[in-house]
Amino acid sequence: MIKPKTRWDVGQWTPVQDERAAKLAAALKLPPLVARLLVARGVDEPEAARLFLEAGPEHMHDPYRLKGMEEAVERIRRSTAEGGKIRIYGDYDADGVSATSLLIRLFRRLGYDFDYYIPDRLKEGYGLNRPAIDQAAAAGVRLLLTVDTGMSAVDEVAYARELGMEVVVTDHHEPPEVLPEAHALINPKQPGCPYPFKGLAGAGVAFKLAHALTGEPPLELADVAALGTIADLMPLTGENRILVRCGLAQMRGGSVPGLRALAEKANVNLAAVTAADVAFGMAPRVNASGRLSHADHAVTLLTTERPEEAEEKAALLDGLNRERQKIVDAIVREAEEMWEARCDRARREGETAPPVIVLAGEGWNVGVIGIVASKLLEKHYKPTVILSVDGETGLCKGSARSIDGYDLHAALTSCAELFEHFGGHQAAAGMTLHRDRLAELERRLGEWALRTLTDEDWIPKTRVDLVCALEEASVETIEQLDRLQPFGADNPSPRVLIANVNVADRRTMGKDGKHLKLSLAGGGRLLDAVGFGMGGYAEQLAQGAYVSVIGELAMNEWNGNRRPQLLMKDLRVEQVQLFDLRGEREPLAALRAVLERTAARERSAAVLAATQAWAEAAAGAAQPEQGAENGTLSFYTFESMPAEGICCEELVLLGEPASGERLAAVLERCNGLEAVHAIYRQERASPGRTRRFPGREQFAKVYQLLRRAERLPERGLSERLAAMAGLPADTVEMMLDVLPNWHLSNGAKEAYM
């Protein structure tokens, strides 16, 4: 038995969904698994599925359906006609940089008189600010055009108007109750906006403005629009799918020097770039510019037409990203030490560790604390707040990340009086408060967690799209799954469950055996499954065990050959596993090896010896420090085992049991048992003694008979199976005592239970 690391959330599947999937598969000639996946994601009509898979630029929405677009276009064109200067005012994150760069490239092509401005993250903070507006007025700017910002800048927009400037706001953030009185507001989320797709990024809104200004989708600008959309974790559904698909195609053409140089520094093959490459390779380097220096470097990279300048800026951003990684690692180490000390203090005071992590450090870089919060959450799976303290003022600026079930915004709202200001949503938030209120913040957020979360909520959850039969994992199916790309927010890479398949082979890969490779068998098929960082499971899996795995189907291409494989994320074994070590020449050496592995995994173990002499030998062979603490290692003979039973996860049989009946009775009295290690040489059967512990091959034969059975008799089950398997009936009866019910088919379960 191996417990999964996470809760597996497998969606319910209904007969109605089966019918819809069959209809889709027939209409679009799709493999059944692909059709089921589309239905599971709410795309359950043939025409909707066709659009999801094939929609192109011709399916983009009319930009003038965005409220405020007509007024914005009229004002920009009037500014150009009158010779007025336009200033693009952007944001310092990858979305804001992409939106700014998109309009710079467009305005250059259209010959507009313009410049741009992005505030310094550390000195000015987010959004419009009065000194920047003063600077614009002094520079003769008549029209201020915001991208990816401005929706909440009520006072700043009014101030700009007082100075004689008009403001056009393009944004995608949630609008506040009071909107700025700008000349035009473009935001698909604003009240009264009829635009049918609400998930545009700031760069996506800028792309729609460019579409309106040019009269057609400017596909040559889709690359930076895709970069911003992916980086800002916008849903890759609806119009964003078209935009990102077109943008990735544009990137693959390699026409933009900055994107070529950026991809090279990120070790991305631009000719085959995917959304994942952008998200994990290219976007972090663009973000590093605004986090540690100034976003101007990233804007220059994305807008320059000179390859040498692009290479220079890409190298700079790559260096900043490496610096960012070092800063993050250093803060994570400090934060981990603080958390350990906080937990130690709680233990000394007889308390449990706080349910919410709240940590603050003086001088921590504000630009990266959100990343630090994400890393601590990933390790500890607790809502996490990380704050940087200003030593002079005592003010703390923080970023928070949450777990499923913990509504971060609601929790912060419940103690709103503690903050100077805060904002965010269920999963992420930002806030400012004084350091004197940190202890109260920890207490209040912890109380909210204890009130609102169940025990189950503290276990990480893995969403599984579908159950997949082993024979469905074919080259054709995986090729068709690629049509669901680009993968990202709201359209993640499909995750499947392959249940109860045999481990035909297992081995470790890579340096120090860090990775795991399994060969899964079932239905006459074999499938390779690879688990990166899962090498420790190799010694926990018994040969021939039945395992359930979740992961992502992928293509393994090597030397011109293409084979399907599963990239594993988690696994479980639900039955008690048998490790058959009866061929070992040195039983006590084998025992020591088992106990070493058990102790390293901090698991409870018991040794059952056939005789007292074996028990004493085992106790002498076991090193005292291995598992001896807290009574986690015990030694018994079959006769001395307590009548009330024992608690152990690992049971070692040292010496052959006297009979199958005795072994079955012992196993029934082991609570929490997950694995049995049989360590002894099996003697030849003597006359009249037929019932002995079965071998691996015999177990496998009975397993297969039960799995194939549609219906088995309630009475005489062991005799029937014995006749089918060619084994003694009492041996099969003992095997049924050990076998868990989950191995049986539905019909056999009903009979056996």
**Does pLDDT of 30 surpass 60?**
yes
714-719: long-range contacts (C-beta < 8 A, 24 or more apart)? 714/751, 714/752, 717/751, 717/752
Per-residue pLDDT band for 421 (boundaries 50, 70, 90) equals confident
Least confident interval from 62-76, 324-338, 345-359, 733-747: 733-747
Per-residue pLDDT band for 717 (boundaries 50, 70, 90) equals confident
**Does pLDDT of 118 surpass 50?**
yes
pTM for the full model?
A: 0.81
Percent of the chain at pLDDT exceeding 90: 63
Task: Give the orientation angle of helix 130-138 with respect to helix 154-162, to 10 degrees.
Answer: 30
Give, for 598, the enclosing helix (H) or strand (E): helix 587-600
* Coil, helix or strand at residue 17: helix
What pLDDT is attached to residue 147? 96
Handedness of CA 534, 535, 538, 540 (dihedral sign): negative
Query: 462 forms bridges with which residues in the sheet?
Result: 8
Cα 328 to Cα 39, 290, 331, 336, 375, distances in angstroms: 41, 15, 5, 12, 9
The residue assigned the tokens 């150009």 is 80
Nearest C-alpha neighbor of 492 from the set 162, 674, 236: 236
What pLDDT is attached to residue 737? 59
Across the range 726-749, mean pLDDT stands at: 55
Nearest C-alpha neighbor of 591 from the set 613, 619, 624: 619
Percent of the chain at pLDDT exceeding 70: 91
Name the class of domain 59-252.
alpha beta
**Strand spans (E) along 510-602:** 515-522, 525-531, 546-558, 561-572, 577-580
The residue type of 218 is P
Handedness of CA 336, 339, 340, 341 (dihedral sign): positive
What pLDDT is attached to residue 685? 43
Give the model confidence (pLDDT) of 223-239 as tens digits.
999 999 999 989 999 99
What pLDDT is attached to residue 714? 56
Which residues, including other chains, have CB under 8 Å from residue 363's CB and lie 6 or more apart? 388, 389, 391
* Coil, helix or strand at residue 397: strand
What pLDDT is attached to residue 687? 43
What pLDDT is attached to residue 707? 62
Per-residue pLDDT band for 533 (boundaries 50, 70, 90) equals very high
Most distant CA pair in the chain: distance in Å? Answer: 110
What pLDDT is attached to residue 734? 66
Give the model confidence (pLDDT) of 656-707 as tens digits.
777 777 788 888 888 889 999 988 765 444 444 444 556 666 666 776 676 6
The residue assigned the tokens 């191995």 is 743
Query: 547 forms bridges with which residues in the sheet?
Result: 501
**Strand spans (E) along 524-664:** 525-531, 546-558, 561-572, 577-580, 605-609, 633-637, 646-647, 650-654
Cα 298 to Cα 95, 100, 285, 332, distances in angstroms: 11, 10, 9, 26
What pLDDT is attached to residue 628? 37
Q: Looking at per-residue confidence, does 484 or 746 come out higher?
A: 484
Calpha distance 251→266 (Å, rounded): 14
Nearest C-alpha neighbor of 182 from the set 146, 208, 132, 212: 146
What pLDDT is attached to residue 522? 82
C-beta separation of 196 from 60 below 8 A: no
User: Rounded to 5 degrees, what angle do the CA atoms 171, 177, 182 make?
Assistant: 50
What pLDDT is attached to residue 711? 54
Calpha distance 286→283 (Å, rounded): 5
Per-residue pLDDT band for 643 (boundaries 50, 70, 90) equals confident
What pLDDT is attached to residue 744? 41
Across the range 267-289, mean pLDDT stands at: 95
178-185: long-range contacts (C-beta < 8 A, 24 or more apart)? 178/154, 179/151, 179/154, 180/150, 180/151, 180/152, 180/153, 180/154, 180/156, 181/154, 181/157, 182/150, 182/157, 183/71, 183/72, 183/75, 184/68, 184/69, 184/71, 184/72, 184/75, 185/67, 185/68, 185/151
**Does pLDDT of 74 surpass 50?**
yes
**Does pLDDT of 561 surpass 90?**
no
Q: What is the mean pLDDT of the chain?
A: 88
Which residues, including other chains, have CB under 8 Å from residue 485's CB and lie 6 or more apart? 245, 274, 275
Least confident interval from 14-28, 284-298, 652-666: 652-666
Q: Looking at per-residue confidence, does 669 or 69 come out higher?
A: 69
Cα 502 to Cα 499, 527, 634, 699, distances in angstroms: 9, 10, 32, 12
In 293-427, alpha helices (H): 296-303, 307-348, 369-380, 408-413
Neighbours of 11 (CB within 10 A): 13
Domain 577-752 of CATH type 3.30.1600: no
State both tokens at 238.
């609806």
Give the model confidence (pLDDT) of 308-324 as tens digits.
999 999 999 999 999 99
Eight-class DSSP state of 281: I
* Coil, helix or strand at residue 566: strand
C-beta separation of 472 from 32 below 8 A: yes
Per-residue pLDDT band for 746 (boundaries 50, 70, 90) equals very low
State both tokens at 710.
């549609």
Cα 537 to Cα 10, 142, 541, 575, distances in angstroms: 23, 65, 6, 16
Cα 3 to Cα 74, 500, 541, 569, 670, distances in angstroms: 63, 14, 12, 13, 18
CATH architecture of 7-41+465-572: Beta Barrel (2.40)
Burial, 583: exposed, middle or buried (Cβ in 10 Å; 0-12, 13-18, 19+)? exposed
User: Rounded to 5 degrees, what angle do the CA atoms 54, 485, 249 make?
Assistant: 75
What pLDDT is attached to residue 339? 96
What pLDDT is attached to residue 747? 36
Q: Looking at per-residue confidence, does 737 or 441 come out higher?
A: 441
Which residues, including other chains, have CB under 8 Å from residue 257's CB and lie 6 or more apart? 304, 305, 306, 307, 309, 310
Neighbours of 595 (CB within 10 A): 23
State the number of CA atoms in the 13 A half-sphere of 566 facing the CB: 29
C-beta separation of 94 from 231 below 8 A: yes
State residue 422 phi and psi, 5-degree precision: -155, 165
Across the range 316-343, mean pLDDT stands at: 95
Neighbours of 716 (CB within 10 A): 12
Per-residue pLDDT band for 627 (boundaries 50, 70, 90) equals very low
C-beta separation of 609 from 706 below 8 A: no
Across the range 399-409, mean pLDDT stands at: 92
State the number of CA atoms in the 13 A half-sphere of 541 facing the CB: 29
Handedness of CA 8, 12, 17, 22 (dihedral sign): positive
Calpha distance 279→276 (Å, rounded): 5
Instruction: Tell which CATH classification among 3.40.350.10, 3.30.1330.10, 3.10.310.30, 3.30.413.10 matches the domain 354-457.
Output: 3.10.310.30
**Does pLDDT of 260 surpass 90?**
yes
Q: How do the domains of the chain map onto residue ranges?
A: 7-41+465-572, 59-252, 255-339, 354-457, 577-752
In 189-306, alpha helices (H): 202-214, 222-231, 238-252, 257-265, 275-277, 283-292, 296-303
